[in-house]
Structure 1
Amino acid sequence: MNKEGTEKVYLKRLEIQGFKSFADKTNLEFNPGITLVVGPNGSGKSNIADAIRWVLGEQSVKSLRGGKMEDVIFAGSDKRRPLGMSEVSLTIDNSSGIFPLEFNEVTVTRRLYRSGESDYLINRVPCRLKDVHELFMDTGVGREGFSIIGQGKVDEILSAKPEERRGLLEEAAGIVKYRHRKREAVRKLEDTEASLIRLSDIISELSQQEEPLAEQARIASIYQQYKEELDSLEIGLLIDEAQNAQNRLELLKNDINQEERECEALTSRFHGLQAQEEEQKLKLQQKEEDVARFQEKVYQENILLEKYEGEKKLSAERLSSLDREELALERELALVTENAACLLEEISRHQKEGEQLKVNLQLAKTSLKEFENLIHQEYSRHLKDSADLETLKTEHFESLQEETKINNEIAGAKQQIAGLERQWEQLKSKKEMLYREKLEVAAKVTELKRSLSENQETLAQLEKEFKAHEERLKRETVLHQELLQQNRCLMDEKNNILSRRKVLIEMERDGQGYAQGVRELLQASHHHQLKGILGTVAQLIIVPKAYETAIEEVLGGSLQFIVTEDDQCAQEAIHYLKNKDKGRATFLPLNTIKGSKPNDLLPQGKGIIGRASELVSFDKKFAGIIEYLLGRVFLVEDLPTAVKKAKETGFKYRMVTLDGQLVNAGGSLTGGSVKANQTGILSRKRHIEELAGKAAVLEDKITLGQEQEGKKEKLLQSLQVDIEGCKQRMQECSLKDVELKNRLARWEGEIQRLVRELESLKWQHEETREEKAQLQKKILSLEEEKGILREKTAVYQAKIQELQERIKNTQQEQLSKNEQLSQLRVQVATCEEKLSVHQKEEQQYIQQLRNLEQQKAGKEQELTFLKEKRQELLNTQRTLEEEQGKVQVALKELEMKLSALRIEKQNIQDILLEVGQELKQLQSKIKEKEDKIHQWQVQQSKIETALEAAVRRLTEQFSLEFHQAKHKGAQIQERRKTLQRINELKEEINALGSVNLAAIEEYARLKERLEFLTHQVRDMLEAKERLEQVIREMDQIMTRRFKETFVQVDTAFQEVFRQLFGGGRAQLILNSPENILETGVEIIAQPPGKKTQSLSLLSGGERALTAIALLLAILKVKPSPFCVLDEIEAALDEANVARFAQFLREFAETTQFIVISHRKGTMEVADVLYGVTMEETGVSRLLSVKLADVRREAS
């Protein structure tokens, strides 16, 4: 092949850097033929196969012989640091166009960084892992194909289940890509079917809503007509009221203006009289001031006259008083002189007593000083005794510590002795155990000899068991397949139910079936964008299944009404919808909706099931809401009963039948067919629970089936294990003789070991005895030291007790002397206090003497002053008598002028009286006018209020200005008939019941959505049909190709098997030929000279050679561009290795081989030899030799 040089090279180059042990950049150039990689164990040669597998997209860390993907990056060595990236590039020749790329060479590169990031490249262009897989799909090249075959692949063929073994044939048949495409198509088909189920449920839900919503839209339309007429009439009434009020206001304003003009004229006259009155009051005030001024002058003259008279009397009294004072002073002066003489004698006596007190104080201080010195000396002795006591206590404590230390040493020595005694006992026990063990070994030798004779009998029995287990395995395998099929059917049924339940849950979560506005609000509440949304009416009530149709029909659109905590929450929700432009919704605030039970005649009798509000379940806080919606609705058995009972109650209540026919309040009827098998928003929750129950039942059945399946699998495994066990035990019987002899030799060696251990125990026993004697001597020495310390401690205790007694006596004496000291200090303080008091009294006497001398001098001066004052008073009396005569003449003139002024004042007061009377009359007339004006103004205010109320109602109720309302209101001819028509319209509106005004818009959207969904269903059904056609076509292609390939591989396998084994026969068998796409592949082999057996009964070498034969047969049918073989011939003997190598040589004509091996026979057929060494620890290096060139040179 190499001589011709015409063979095309498929795998050209492998570049490795940082991958596992290849730290440095390493290039492997591949040539046609066989390239062999050799090297000692642990050198890293298998890392080359791992590198090829990795660059082709292998994701299994286990297949790469690692724990995590980062393990493929060079981890460092003693001399090298770890690398941060691993990179492998594989270059493949594409001149034959095996790959769908317009390049003669295709280079696939894979990189991995320690951060976990990875890159894939094709011809240095970044791509996805999926692109790499698709590039090699059905080419025989790839991580799952047969281009890389290691010992693990051989083991996989040997141990795999038949269904798993068919994967090799699928790769050879080139149907892997079809199976992958079919899997994608099936997944799309399942998604399409799930979408169809979902759309069908949605259409069913929407269709069920269509008829009720159409009825609601019709009622809403009638309501709007009534409402428009009602609004027009009410606007006309308000306009009429406003215009009447305007006319009355004009007339009233004219009357008020006339009265105001007359009132102004009277007020002007009133003000003129007030000015005249003020002028006369001013004159009167001036006259009163003149009268007061002259009265004041007369009063002052009288006061002056009285003053002179009083001063004369006072002067006479003072003269009399001066005489009395002069006599008293003379007496006081004599008394002061006598008291001063007495004080002089007292001061002299007091000074003598003070001298005696000073002497007594000095004696007391001397006694106190002497006693304090005595106490100080005794206290010094007490301090010395205390210090001595503390010293003794310290020495005593140290002695106790030393004694404790010795006690601890004695206890430690005793513990060591006890430990030695335990050790001695243990040695004794061990010695006895060794003697027993020696006897047991001898018994085992006897037992081993007996076992040899029983070995042949066991072998014959095992052959019988093997045949019985093999027959039972075949029967149980058939039963197991039937159980698997049954469980798959149950699983499919459960998945369909869960899929439908999932669709219903998604519809419930997404608000399917609800109007747009309701869905938006529920989602906003779920995301906490709105507060106070408690849910829809449908979500808040639980309806028995029998009543669902009736309740859904009677509530209709009311099921979508949203219940809120209060009207404020409802207003916020309305603003939210308005701002978001997300449709409309109807709200039922808990604080405003107050439903009440009907108090009048209730329908009773046969056919009445009950009041609707009492037949549903709900939280008691929603009682008002439910009464509002269903309080006047009664559930009856059939339509005739409903009509009859409605007539009996005067059509005051709504009647609904079990099948959804309605008799409305007022007498209208609603009915017809109701579509069956539809899931409404009210029954959706029940359907979800029912489906969950069905799924749980199926789950129990599946679990039971799986348990049975598991038991059956365990049984099959147990049978397989039993078969393998029988075979294993048969092989073990032939080796048992050698094993028994080896065990006998080991037990004899064990006896020698036991003898040596007994000698060692004897020596340890003697050593323990000597150590115990030394410890006992140490304990006696420590006991002697302990006795000496105890005597020393007793002496310390006696001295301490003596000092403590002396200190106690000293403290008691100090207490007694302290009391005496206190008494002396009190005596000194008493003397000092008496002397201080005596000195203060002496000073007081001296001060009193000084005061008496001052009093005497003062009284003498005062007596001289009194005599001078008496003469002054006599002169003043004469002057006062002269002035009194002058005042009496002036007083007579003033009284004459005062009389004339009083007459003028009286004249002015008469004029003021007349003016005041006229002012009162004018004031009364003005008050009458003002009261009348006020009454008319109040009337005007009421009319204006009524006018404003009418205009405000127009604005608030109808959002119209007054001028706009004139053109929209009806013309009012007769007010009574208009009011009667308004009442009729309100009764008609009330008879309609709760009206969903959004129903018209919702109905239009519903129709549009139904048309859209129906179109989607048609599209999906067409897509489903196309997918099913594609799957059928791919099944046909895969069936045809697999059958053709199976026949070819089976033929090639039989031929290769005979060549490798030198005879015999082998065959591939399909275990389910009726199911060609899922059938497993069994391998039957009969080596030369043996019976036909399954793989599990062959020897290790035969099994490996059979697996190699199958791989070579596949390569023969579908040659791979290249093939990597990683030590697959390791289990073969030399003769089989030679046959294997010869086959490699033959196959190398069409397939390029990269072989990793250490067998000599394989090396002999290689064209290029690479050697992998590890000169540096942990780092692999590569050497290459072209053996073909060497052979040519040798020849």
Structure 2
Amino acid sequence: MHLTEIKLAGFKSFVDPTKIPIRSNMSAIVGPNGCGKSNIVDAIRWVIGESSAKQLRGQSMSDVIFNGTTNRKPVGRATVELHFDNSAGRITGEYANYTDIVIRREVERDGQSNYFLNGTSCRRRDILDVFLGTGLGPRSYSIIEQGMISQLIESKPEEMRLHLEEVAGISKYKERRRETENRIQHTKDNLDRLNDIREELDKQLRHLKRQANAAERYKVLKEEERVLTAQMKALHWQALEEKRIQQQEKLNQQGVLREQKVAEQRQYEAEMDKVKIQQEEAQETQNDVQKRYYQIGEEIARLESQIKHHQEQLQRWQQEYADTEHLWRELEETSLEQREQIRELEFELAELTPQEGEVSARVSEAQRAFVEANHKNRAWQKAWDECQQHMAQVNSQLQVITTKIEYHQKQDQQLKERQSAIAARLQQSRLTQLQAEIAPLQAVWQEKQLELETIKETLQEDQRHITEQRDNNKQRQQQLQHQQRELQGLEAEQAKAAALQQAALGCHDEKSVEWLNRHQLQARARLGQKLQVARGWEKAVETVLSGYFDAVCVEHIDDYVAALHELNDGRITLIEQAALRMGGTSLKAETLISKMSSDWSFDQWLQGIYVAETVVQAHALRNTLASHESVITPEGVWLGKNWIRISHLPDSQRGILEREKHLQTLVEQIDLAQQRVAQYEEAWQQGEAIVIALEKKRDALQENYQQKNAEFTEIRAQLTARTAQLEATKNEHQRLQNELNEMNQRLQTQRDEIEVFHEKKIILEKQQTDGQKQRNQFIEQREECQSALETARHEAQKQQQQADALVIRMSANESQLGLLRQTLQRNEKQLTQLTERREYLSRQLSQEDSPVEKLKTDLQRQLSQRLSVEQELKAAQAFVLELRQRFKEADVAKQHVMEVIASVQTELEKSRLIFQEMSVRQQTIQEQLQEIEVQLDAVIAQLPEHAEIQAWEVHLSELQQSIHRLGPINLAAIEEFQSSRERKEYLDKQFQDLTESLETLEAAIRKIDRESKIRFRETFEKVNEGFQTIFPKIFGGGRAMLELSEEDLLTTGIIVRAQPPGKRNSTIHMLSGGEKALTAIALIFSMFQLNPAPFCILDEVDAPLDDVNVGRFCQLVKEMAKETQFLMISHNKVTIETADHLMGVTMQEAGVSRLVAVDVALALEMVEA
């Protein structure tokens, strides 16, 4: 697997899209300081998953985005891509089949990063997983930046182990193990929570099971009670149905009888109406006949009067008069008779009217007496029912008491048997024997415990000393590391300042440097390094001597005059050593030379230059200057007689003097820091030796403690077993004794309860006897009440009949009185007519006679007609009398039928009330059955053939007592128990699954640990072998090795031991910076030999090395480049010459990095050509 290309856009100083091709296994990146070389390393580290902005030399992740320059605006996104060639299949897993792998990371101003793998969005973890085990990672040994080479070799044993794990390829196992441990911990936490829930559920289930059983028993009994209640109600309904059917038949019979009587009444009424109509018609007929009779008589009289005229007329008239008189008398008599009848009827009605009130009063009295008798009967019935209910309660309580007495007597017998059994077990107790066995064991246990406590106190004291010493050593180590970091910081600052100073002093001009090297002048001091300037006047001196600070200080210039012709290009200034001379001055003012001191002579450059504190003073002094004189201020404003110069020097030439002072100060600080590092290192090594001695002492005590602890544990186990047996025996003995006491108390309680129950039974038996007597009294009273009720009912009926007869009689009299009054009115009318006729005849008798013959014939005819009409009249009168008799007989028959109807109606109403009462009671029973959701027909169909209400009532009473004995019932317990049981089963299954999962995870941990140990041991041995081989090559001898800090291969750290040739140092920290760097390089390359990463980045790791060691380093890199790509960033020419492909980073535009690549081999061919 090889890195083929790096693409950057908007990342730090690489604002423009930049492609960095990697065409060989040895590529070098060069460029001046600050041009952005290390930004390439940061980009690689960032794209493969670095999440710490601090590691990328920033404060936040958005700091990696190009932030703009004076000429360019900031951009909003940074992108970095790495292209890999995976044709060898180094990357495993799902990307093993990809020959090209591209990873890309993007970030915007909000700081949110996006990762892409082969163009597909992914997570940071996916990127890290791809490189697990390959040695490549954001902080792995494959990326070594400035200053990290010494940190690597000085890493703690635990940190050094991480690099070896990456080499061994077990970092992915470690990551999986960490995930598995987290899952195990989560599984254990879940198991703990699950166990708590299951234990709580067990308690709830036991309680709910008892409640559910009781509830189930209650539901069964309630269902039986519901069925029995429904059946008993059905039996009641059947009994009522039979009575209702009988009553219905009776009602039907009474209805038929009533209808018959009503029909008879209607028949009599019709007959009476018919007779009444016939009577009216007969009366009309009689009146008509009588009228005709009167008319014929009048005609006869007229004829007789005419016949006789005078004589006979008079006789006829006399006869007619006599007849009229006779008829008038008859009518008068009839009217008198009718008046008499009217008076009799009126008298009778007058007598009957008072009787009506009396009869009504008697009816009301009889009905009141009936109501009172009925009320007394109902009161008796209520008292009877209460008596029956009381008797039933007494009988039920008596039965319960009898059952309880039998139950407690049985319990008493059982308690006595249990008491005997407990007494027998108490006699067989081993309590005394166990107490005798425990006493010697306790003495030995206390002795061993005292020994253990003594050793433990000593161990704790030693451990406390070790901890204190370790803490002190840790503090010393931290102080040492702090001092080392300060020293490294000072050295880095010195190197940086020295590089800047060398650049400012022209030490990088190749032609000049080549001439100076040829004449052994490169190491000579420059003028800028030998000047001492008064504080505040540095800028003034730099303005005047800006072109001479790089002057090389020599003893004699004459020695080099002959070689000056060799310098064809470049610039060199030589200066001889001589004291500065203060020349004469024409002004009374300080000169610039007075602000300086040096062992080198350059006074000719400063002659005639005065100093002034301010520009105003300088301007005032300018008029007094000679033409060759000038004046300068501390700010660098330089004035002559007729000129003025204000010069802003370039950055490279600015601050040379101040920087030189700072370099001298840094040298002093570095010396002091090295002394402090040596002191702290010596104190830390002494502390480590003390810790080792204390640990040896502690280990010996620990071994003794473990031996004593084993003996103590064995004695404690024996004592615990005996104590547990004794405690169990005591508990059993105490439990049996408590149970025996409880048995005695319960026996006494049972006897007390039996005695109480006997007393209650006697009271109840007495109540039963009293109740029976009261019941007998009620039975006697029932006959009296029923007899009184029947008498009152008969009397009420009798009075009602008399009242009805009186009403009928009065109605008949009133009807007859009306008829008589009509007849009398007609008779009086006839009398009036007869009177008028009689008066007429009387007047005619006084008149003369008329012709007779003709009238005799008429008279004879009229006489015959009169006889016929008279017969008709008599027949009509007889028929009227017959009709009157028939009306009267029908009226009497009607009254009799009405009396019968009234009696039948009373019975019918009574029967109807009874029928309705039965129907209501049946309806009530049906509604009660509907309330309990039972169909009457279904219950009746399930009833036995010979079911009796009394047997059902007894059974129902027993069932209700059983329900009552259950006590309070939690009906919801059934559902709660079912729900809890289902939840318990689910939790048990979950517990089983979690247990199996935990076993699987623990097996996976064991497998990972086993494989990790094997691979770590093999890797450690191979890396150690390679380290021991490479170290002598780099150092030209000496020896080095890796050691395990402890025996456990899963947790042991790695200690690096290195002794260069001729040194006997005990730790790696005693080596110099260069030695540490070489040791680290040897270790890293030994890791690469075993597990070469896809590429290795070395960022100025050769900075601490001298030329000889750089050569060795480069030779080793060439050998390693056969297996691994190397991307080196360096300023060293030897290292740069080693590379096959050279890339230069420039910053021609301030703040913007650009890349220039050169194929070295191709360039050499072009040069040679």
Structure of higher CA gyration radius: 2
| TM-score, normalized by the shorter chain, greater than 0.5 | no
Give TM-score scaled by structure 2 length: 0.45
